[in-house]
Amino acid sequence: MRSTRRIRWAAIPLAATLVLALSACTDQELAGYMPGFVSGASPVTNHTQLVTDFWVNSWIVLLGIGFITWGLLLWSMVVYRRRKTDTGLPVQLRYNMPIEILFTVIPFILIIGLFALTARDTEIIEKRFDAPEVTIQAFGKQWAWDFNYTNEDVYYSGIQVQPDLSEGAEQGAIEESSLPTLYLPVGKKVEIQLNARDVIHSFWVIDFLYKKDMIPGKTNYMSIIPEREGTYAGKCAELCGEFHSQMLFQVKVVSQEEYDAYIQSLRDQGFEGQLGTEYDRNSNQANVVASANESK
């Protein structure tokens, strides 16, 4: 009876502390400190909350299992510790069938559960829009980016980011104006077609909590709805050569009016049409080989 009361009086303050701690959490803390969240603002894309929920809930389950495991270890060390009056060896047990089954079934259930949730969320995230409102064709190239705005028939061709050589600039700083920039209108169904001009790259917008490989000769797709205006950092997430670390870009999610104005600015600069596969290194190599074979 006395031990039960002790446990009760220990559990009450522990539970109260846990409730207070959770109630005092900010949006950033409740999101597991994942990027892309600002207190009081909507998630960056329609998939951001889904990814975050999976991340946080997985950690809650795993930490729960961890606390149970650590508690059982501590309990065993305290209850079954060797006392001064003990002599000889304790009773030796070869195995315990119920415990063996428990230790097999629980991990199996956890693995199946995590796999099922992963498959469900992946299917939602990877589902393409039947009728995207904005279509972008993005090309990764060593070590910059090209963006075709397919609906508007204009393009942007980026260059590798340049170091900031101005006086007083920190070592390693880059010139912000040289960053390749992709504009997206807020609240629209956007499909980004991902291609590579030379080697494998990876299109990663950090705050989107989403990245996808860009493979030469293959088109991958990213379907999102940007839900919060702002500027978001992006980079190549696949080691692609000497200047991989400088293969940066940014995404500006803007209003429809600002998006239209940007498209018009590209048109005014003469960037009309589309940058196709004629600039792909592999295509050019294939053409050279074909021409050489024909000449023979």
Which sign does the torsion angle of CA 256, 259, 261, 263 carry?
negative
pLDDT in tens, the chain (296 residues): 455 554 555 556 656 666 555 555 666 666 666 777 777 778 899 999 899 989 888 888 889 889 988 998 998 888 888 888 888 887 877 778 888 888 899 889 989 999 999 999 999 999 999 999 999 999 999 999 999 999 999 999 999 988 887 777 787 788 888 899 999 999 999 999 999 999 999 999 999 999 999 999 999 999 999 999 999 999 999 999 999 999 999 999 999 999 999 999 999 999 999 998 888 887 655 444 344 444 44
Q: Is the CB of residue 203 less than 8 Å from the CB of residue 215? A: no
Among residues 222, 223, 227, 232, which one has the least CA distance to residue 187? 227
Residues 47-61, buried b or exposed e (16+ Cβ, 10 A)? bbbbbbebebebeee
Helix axes 48-79, 97-126, angle to 10 degrees: 170
Distance CA 248, CA 237 (A): 10
pTM here is 0.78
In which residue are the tokens 């600015």 written? 265
Q: Is the CB of residue 104 less than 8 Å from the CB of residue 159? A: no
Token digits for 213?
A: 């490989």
Distance CA 271, CA 146 (A): 12
Distance CA 226, CA 136 (A): 13
Q: What is the DSSP letter of 197?
A: S
Amino acid at 233: A
CA dihedral 126, 129, 134, 137 (to 10 degrees): 50
Q: Is the CB of residue 158 less than 8 Å from the CB of residue 102? A: no
Token digits for 207?
A: 């705050």
